[in-house]
Amino acid sequence: MVWKAVEAAKILEARGVSVELINVHTIKPLDTEGILASIKKTGCAVTAEEHNIYGGLGDSIAQVAAKDFPIPIEYVGTQDTFGESGKPEELLVKYGLDTDNIVAAVDKVMARKK
């Protein structure tokens, strides 16, 4: 998902939307200081992960935000569904894990910022 997020960031930057992209490669330990620094700058967050949104990266970041700096968050990930076999790019599109969905999540979360 990192590459899809990089692609989304390029599209957003071309539209004049400044983004901060963080590769959170582990949930435990979670870089809470880095996450807090980022959300304090941006005022919102979008998480993108190649698995269920429940109990994953997004929930971990939401817990940090809820405790220390509440912000609007959008999640890009599978929506509590079973996976299937297929071509990787087709599966990313099917489950909403592609660049377009990340861009749409950024648009949605920015609209929710105060």
- The number of domains in the chain is 1
User: Is the pLDDT reported for residue 22 higher than 90?
Assistant: yes
Residue pair 45/106 in contact by the 8 Å Cβ criterion: no
CATH of the domain at 72: 3.40.50.920
Residue pair 57/27 in contact by the 8 Å Cβ criterion: yes
Domain containing 58 equals 2-112
pTM of structure: 0.88
Tens digits of residue pLDDT in 5-17: 999 999 999 999 9
Residue pair 64/35 in contact by the 8 Å Cβ criterion: yes
Q: What is the pLDDT of residue 83?
A: 81
What are phi and psi for residue 75, nearest 5 degrees?
-115, 130
Q: What is the pLDDT of residue 1?
A: 87
Q: What is the pLDDT of residue 69?
A: 96
**How many helical (H) and strand (E) elements, i.e. helices and strands, does the chain have?**
5, 2
User: Is the pLDDT reported for residue 62 higher than 90?
Assistant: yes
* Both tokens assigned to 87: 């071509």
* Both tokens assigned to 86: 């297929």
